[in-house]
Structure 1
Amino acid sequence: MSKEGIRRPSVGMALIPIMIALVIFIGGIGILKYQAELMLIFAGVVFSIYAIWCGHKWEKILTVMGEKIKTALPAILILFSIGLIIGTWMLSGTIPFFVYYGLEIIHPGYLYVLAFIVTAIVSTCVGTSWGSAGTIGVALMSIAQTMDVSLAITAGAVVSGAYFGDKLSPLSDTTNMSSLAAGSNLYEHIQHMMYTSIPSSIIAIIVFYFAGLSIESTPGQLNNIEEMLSGIDQLFNLNVLVLLPAVIVIAGSLMKKSPLIVLFSSALTAMIIAFFFQQATVAQLFTSAVEGFNVEMVTASNPGLDPTVISESMQGLLNRGGLYSMYNATFFVFCAFFFAAAIEVSQALNVVLEKIISYLKSIGSVIFASLVTGFAVINCTSNALVTYFLIKDIFGDVYKKKKLHPVNLSRSMEDSVTITEALMPWTVSGVFMATTLGVSNFEFLPWAIFNLGGFVFSLLYGFLAPYSNNFGIRNLTENEVEEDMESSKKII
């Protein structure tokens, strides 16, 4: 025990709260389908009790939680901004425009593969998975719902495409921060990620293509499409100007402007378009932004509209968005950071990881350990930035001892942290994707092919390195090793 009365737990004792938390998550959320927020609170209480037993103060847990919420404030604001975007884009006709022409152009059999490709392109342009899923992803889910095809597969395709860009775009904050944390060059980092991203993308395209082949158009499906086309055509004034809010998002992202400013500007533009082209009142503009869009807003300004056009399915399709729609997700953030603060203060995870590192011998075992650790930590913290630097602190020297270039570490971070966070229902990104797309995480998880593929291929390259002449693995050259030793001496 230290002078401050804080004891460092043994590995055996540290495993106790970790195992209890796993039981709570897997049993409570995965099997019994209990609310993830409550399960996070229970797990947080377990680690809080453990931390207090180790000699830490309850006030320290609250302090760490406050610090985490402070760093996550931009993400929380973006969360609200996406709700704002969906509500105003609905009223302006932006999302209905994508839905209308998507229904006219896309054959049901190609929806899955196009959902992946289109979302990947948009995500690469804007550099954010949240932005692409919250805009074009919502439109694609609406198309899938109208076509009466699998929402789980469509959501998996959208999530896969969204994280393609989040992983590979030089505009992505996670791409920049993972390379920064690992100490690798941004573009070398992106280039090295192609080893896992290209095969994952190819497999995703093949899977989504063949999954779409099983779809057969039925009379009911065609009737739904015709009904939706007719309804949207009568409800909205669709013209090229309604695309301006989407253009602002893409252009602002390419110009590297603040995401919050870009999203707010896009929402404001959508409100102006709704006022002039959809005859929306000022009250309706604010209502769509705060409470979300409702079809009744459009019907109120079209008294001569045939009421039979507004079916229940159309209302379920279009009535969404608004700041209120993100309240549950925001509350989840607070629950997640309570859990993250408790596990950080307890030091249980650190103790276990330090023990695991002592057994790492081969390149494959090092990469495997860093991948599993990244996945575990992001699921405990829901904070990619914290996870990146923690992984660097834990595995940076281990990678160097194996003469592995920093791009291997930064790629492992992306494959285990960036693209897997959305798969679990107790992470912030996981809640965002499930809330925005309307499909639970465990439903779309098997179809998030790109996200799963990165982890698998990164693992394969590590274990096959001795037999493949290190294909997919970049080793440090002798000059790089000497330069690193010289820089270390200067620091000392």
Structure 2
Amino acid sequence: FLPTTVIITAIVGSMIGSAFTTIATVGVALFGVGTAMGFSPAIMAGAILSGAIFGDKSSPLSDSTNLASSVAETDLFAHIKNLMWTTLPALILSIIIFLVIGMTHDGASVANNLKLAKLLDPTWWTVVPLVMLFVMAWLRIPAIPTLLMNIIVSTVAFFFHGNATEFSNVLMNGFKTDSSNVILQSLLNRGGMMAMMGTVIIIMLALALGGLLTEQKILTAVMAPFAKRIKTGSGVITGTVLSGIFANFMIGEQYLATILPGQLWKESFDRVKLDRLALGRSLEDSGTVVNYLIPWGVAGGFAAQTLGVPVIEFAPFVFFALLSPVFSLLSAWTGIGVKRVSD
């Protein structure tokens, strides 16, 4: 069940381009099923986040992926393709680890899940938005038009079964089921814009702090001397990865943890004749994924609030986020998958 959880969230995350949305929808459902089978909440959260982060990192619709590509000034789809050198090994090893954990687990029961399955009645039109996302991403249609089209399709589909009042209520307060089944209520009765306000406030405060650190050039003053002295490709990539991790701990916001190291190390990549694709991948392997392991980070706080598990408990089990920087450093030191600017 654990490796299946990683694969499902990875697929959904890749199709919708958002780890947050994946965690708060299919992730919540898998969390309820997994804990009902007797798995630890921390382990379930780790499996869900591992797949969701991979999906977010590998999708052309992802905000963080588009951001890293923009900061590095590279083609989006070339950036995603280059990510696979470190992203796929981290995912495969994570799946193997969860497979081993699952094989050693005792006491799992599917009785509650079989009862739950009888209450669910999926329809064909629920697949239409996901199919559209996949097709439009395959055709390399930009993220914003793709998302707008799917919002329109999903809204039209909703009005086949509800009215404008119900629609606005779901947007603000989330979906509420009429079922008396306690398990179904815990899985479905959540969401809405109001539920996001705590996370939105953290984002605003993190961006404000990041603005101060950027304007006062505090992080630049700390890291710039190191960036200028490093003269090897492996050293530049290592510095970028460590800077992304450091920025996450300092600011707690993955966007700024991507932007600031990217601006700081961009000239160093040019100086040692490394392709900007290597910069984009280094930013993703540190600035993007590590934020889920920071208790005061926006992504970590959102996951903890959504799944009801403290960051400090699930962080050791988010193997994908832990392994991504490791494989990035291995790639830098061995030269495997590192693109250089041709003479």
1:409-467 deviations in Å (ceiling 9; x for gaps): 111111111222222232322233233333332222222222221100111232x34xx
Give the residue type in structure 2 aligned to 1:472: G
Aligned 8 A contact 1:200 1:454 in 2: yes
Aligned partner of 1:481 in structure 2 is: none
1:204-245 deviations in Å (ceiling 9; x for gaps): 110111111123345xx3442244345x25xxx544345456
Aligned partner of 2:5 in structure 1 is: 115
SS at match of 1:404: coil
Aligned partner of 1:205 in structure 2 is: 95
Deviation at 1:379, TM superposition (A): 4.4
Q: 1:243/1:403 Cα in 2 relative to 1: closer, same or farther (>3 Å)?
A: closer
Distance 2:270 2:93 in 1: 32
1:345 partnered with 2:227: no
1:294 partnered with 2:176: yes
Aligned 8 A contact 1:274 1:285 in 2: no
Aligned partner of 1:439 in structure 2 is: 309
Distance 2:219 2:264 in 1: 12
1:148 partnered with 2:38: yes
SS at match of 2:236: helix
Aligned partner of 1:9 in structure 2 is: none
Aligned partner of 1:419 in structure 2 is: 289
Deviation at 1:112, TM superposition (A): 1.2
Aligned partner of 1:372 in structure 2 is: 242
Distance 1:214 1:182 in 2: 43
1:265-302 deviations in Å (ceiling 9; x for gaps): 46634643544xxxxx876655444333334xx25xxx
SS at match of 1:321: coil
Distance 1:269 1:182 in 2: 38
Aligned 8 A contact 1:371 1:413 in 2: yes
Q: 1:147/1:266 Cα in 2 relative to 1: closer, same or farther (>3 Å)?
A: farther
Give the residue type in structure 1 aligned to 2:57: K
Aligned partner of 2:339 in structure 1 is: 474
Q: Structure 1 stretches of 5 or more lacking a match?
A: 1-110, 276-280, 300-309, 479-492
Deviation at 1:196, TM superposition (A): 0.9
Distance 2:167 2:268 in 1: 55
Q: 1:263/1:139 Cα in 2 relative to 1: closer, same or farther (>3 Å)?
A: farther
Q: 1:406/1:287 Cα in 2 relative to 1: closer, same or farther (>3 Å)?
A: closer
Q: 1:446/1:259 Cα in 2 relative to 1: closer, same or farther (>3 Å)?
A: farther
Aligned partner of 1:27 in structure 2 is: none
Aligned partner of 1:399 in structure 2 is: 269
Give the residue type in structure 1 aligned to 2:60: P
Alignment of 1:71-470 (within 5 A): 111-218=1-108, 221-230=109-118, 232=119, 238-244=122-128, 256-258=143-145, 261=148, 264-265=151-152, 268-269=155-156, 271-275=158-162, 286-295=168-177, 298-299=178-179, 310-381=180-251, 384=254, 386-462=256-332, 464-465=333-334, 470=335
Q: Structure 2 stretches of 5 or more lacking a match?
A: none
Q: 1:208/1:262 Cα in 2 relative to 1: closer, same or farther (>3 Å)?
A: farther
Instruction: State the TM-score, normalized to the length of structure 1.
Output: 0.61
SS at match of 2:60: coil
Percentage of matched positions with identical amino acids: 29
Deviation at 1:377, TM superposition (A): 2.4
SS at match of 1:294: coil
Distance 1:473 1:336 in 2: 32
Distance 1:217 1:320 in 2: 29
Deviation at 1:264, TM superposition (A): 4.4
Instruction: State the TM-score, normalized to the length of structure 2.
Output: 0.84
Q: 1:159/1:263 Cα in 2 relative to 1: closer, same or farther (>3 Å)?
A: farther
1:106-159 deviations in Å (ceiling 9; x for gaps): xxxxx2111111222222223332333333223222322332323322222222
Distance 1:149 1:286 in 2: 36
Supply the RMSD in Å over aligned alpha carbons: 3.1
Aligned 8 A contact 2:35 2:44 in 1: no
Aligned 8 A contact 2:248 2:294 in 1: no
- Report how many aligned residue pairs link the two structures: 340
Distance 1:160 1:266 in 2: 29
Give the residue type in structure 2 aligned to 1:169: S
1:15-47 deviations in Å (ceiling 9; x for gaps): xxxxxxxxxxxxxxxxxxxxxxxxxxxxxxxxx
Aligned 8 A contact 1:337 1:382 in 2: no
Distance 1:112 1:164 in 2: 15
1:174-221 deviations in Å (ceiling 9; x for gaps): 333323322334344333322211211220110111111123345xx3
Q: 1:274/1:334 Cα in 2 relative to 1: closer, same or farther (>3 Å)?
A: same
Give the residue type in structure 1 aligned to 2:176: N
SS at match of 1:352: helix
Q: 1:477/1:116 Cα in 2 relative to 1: closer, same or farther (>3 Å)?
A: same
Aligned 8 A contact 1:146 1:228 in 2: no
Deviation at 1:472, TM superposition (A): 3.0
Deviation at 1:331, TM superposition (A): 1.9
Between stretches 116-125 and 260-269, larger displacement belongs to: 260-269
Aligned partner of 1:13 in structure 2 is: none
Distance 1:383 1:242 in 2: 33
Aligned 8 A contact 2:24 2:191 in 1: no
